[in-house]
Chains A and B, each alone.
Chain A
Amino acid sequence: MKSIALFGLTGQGIETAGEILSKVIESLGYTHRNWRDFSTIIRGGYTSFEIYIADKYETESPPRLEEIDLAVVWTDEGVDRYLSRLKDKSMIFGPANVKSISIDHQGNPPKLGFNIWSLGIICGHLGIPYQLVMKEVEMRFKKGKNSDLFESGYQLGLTVRSEEPLSDLGVENATISGNDALCLGAIAGDVRYYYGYPITPASEILENLSKWLPPLGGGTFQVEDEIAAIHAALGCSYAGKRTFVATSGPGLALMTEGLGYAAATEIPLVLVDNQRGGPSTGMPTKTEQSDLLHLMNAGHGEFARILLTPTSVLDCIVTIQEALNLSEYYQCPVIIALDLDLALRKISIPWERIESAISSVEIDRGPTFLKSSIEGIYKRFAAVGSSPPIRTVPGVKGGAYVASGDEHDEKGLMEPDFKKVRRTLHIRRLNKANSIQYNRPFSRVGDEGSPITIIGTGAMGELIENFVKNNPGVYQGLLIRQLAPLPKEELTVALKNAKRIVVAEYNAKAQIRTILESVLEDKEVHSLLRFDGEHFTDKEFNEEILAILNEVTSNLTN
């Protein structure tokens, strides 16, 4: 595994350099993972880009790595951040005025141009052919000065050329983020319209779909607020077209009335919450998994809901397709909870993996009459045996009904006999998703009989997977994909042999552990909690887990 870091100020084009680097490495067919750091202020302050590259053909992207092979930094703060993480302390480069950098690793790049100079160093070190990178650079920047900056960096990088330089693996790779993955899955799931309001870290979804939907005959609307977004989505869904909404904490708060409305009217709705540090505006650019208890209960009154939590970028492609199907079958809100790190992390993996995730779910519109007509008296909200009611959409003759947030009878009419409908319709609507048909409520990594279980989801997935794989036989990992309804039976079986359990999550109040409480009884349970907005590196995570379990495992590599 190779790992590189680039550190500078926001506005210096650090991310652009990172994107070029990732693009070039993608074209060589190397599986990799990018990591972006943001200042807590969306503009202003420091930023950094890290990239972790597999050594050969790999189908899984690496987790966030602690150890760095080479760092290029703009200021002393970069030295403070990266010197301790360098495998070889001399492998740090930067301008002449920066501390702790040896003279032969210094240069004089201008403030705007530091990114291209750095890119040169990194590419020289990795042994990426000069022309390959220049082609990308010239596509984004003017010729001339940039070529000179890149050239001088590249020559510097060649002085520390890797012993195993990158070559062309001949693999077709693609680079996607969790947000990209959601968009791919949504389009595969027949979403053609999208209504959104910009918010970090969900804006990418609106941006992507604004480019990707029009050629398919659909489109997006940037609406005036999240209240409008969720109601427009409800209108679209009522009209029989598939859509979803995506937001983050503050937007979720505004959408909450609409969430309850969807439940009351049994209009299918998929809501994505890209969780960020809260409460309030909180830490808009930092990761957290702190909305989960809210999502389990959000909305006034009582109603059924399904809460899904993707465990990786690829899983986002699958989960949103499953969510669209579930929402139309059960006709209740289906919520997908991501966290910022998973939403924004970019991984580059073989296209065939993405292709198989896209193709893994068939579209199922549930008990919905999309065409033709209905004979006899139609009752929109009448249960069909123990199954959800039959839904019609405008255009279906004989299927007209009123969808109302006011409590209603089986035809949808308000001012019903409350005593009657609360015992019948309301109870049906309340309990319809108590146990759902969902194939994979969690993913297991490691051996089933292992005595120690690590539980987590979202951004934590890659770390648990990495940890368990490096410690075979001792641990199993359960990556949770479904929190509501709680897959109690399946989890109980999976935890049968587990004596000791660590639940790892990005919040201060152990929310996942709280939700799982009923399956954790009689076990020795520990919490690994982090809530400073940062995503663990592999080493940090491994050390934290071991410290909690208070044991040293000799076969750990780091």
Chain B
Amino acid sequence: MPPAIEFRRVTKQYSSRFSKGVTALADVSFEVEAGEVCGFLGPNGAGKTTCINTLMGFLFADSGEVAVLGYPPGDVRAKSQIGFVPENFAFHPFLTAPKLLRFHATLAGLDSTAAAARIPELIAKAQLYGHEDLRIGRYSRGMVQRLGIAQALLADPQLLVLDEPTSGLDPAGRKDVREILLALKSAGKTVFLSSHILAELEQFADRVIIVDRGKLVREGPLSELLDRGGRVAILVDHLPEEMERFLSERGAAIEHGAPGVRVLVDPAMKREAVERLWAAGCDVIGMYPVRSSLEDLFLKLVGDREKAR
């Protein structure tokens, strides 16, 4: 089975007659396996949307190879198995939700019977019941976004490509989207989504890809990435001042609070730290690994580069 998404050494530059070209993607390579939920992260302007537009066939890479479900981007055979939600989803404002879904059902090749059964189901899923006669131009941002997700699910796609699907949604709306994504994950669908809401991604992504300034900075299974960036917490009853200074100089984080002091150190120096703490007369109450959050990892990778600029 081919990977759901395959990028091999893809480069894309936006050129202009009047200014120097901007490199949006530089030699980017990654794969997303079928059945994975893959989070695609990066700060604004990192190249996420360029990447998504390239894989959907809206843009053409200057060099490198892209394959989606084993086909070149934009191939009709691949597109028949893809559900797509673009960033800042825009609809024809004069249509109502059922009319828009009927239009997309026709484009997706659904027959009228299948569409008639599927549309009310999706209207319910997008919580747009009671708004069927309202034109989309009068919808709130959240309603439009939910409708966007509903249209992406219309043809029961194998691969979902979502560009910032939760932007503009309130916490309740984000929770609904999260539940939809979890249901898709348990149904074995492949989901490739870019998002800024890292805490949410952490709850259901199997794998993350982080890009910054058009370059891939980290990719891998989420559990591995978070463990790799993890630390060890040593809980002690008290911490003498000179010991605190010594540990801080070696990169440890100190957190004072009940029931003692928590010292966060790199796994490599845990033994040395414990021995020194014992020697300094501190009572070590406990020791346990602490996984870093996706946000920590993201800020570490992207923040370091920001500082370096």
Partners in one complex: no
A residues whose Cβ falls under 8 Å from a Cβ of B: none
B residues whose Cβ falls under 8 Å from a Cβ of A: none
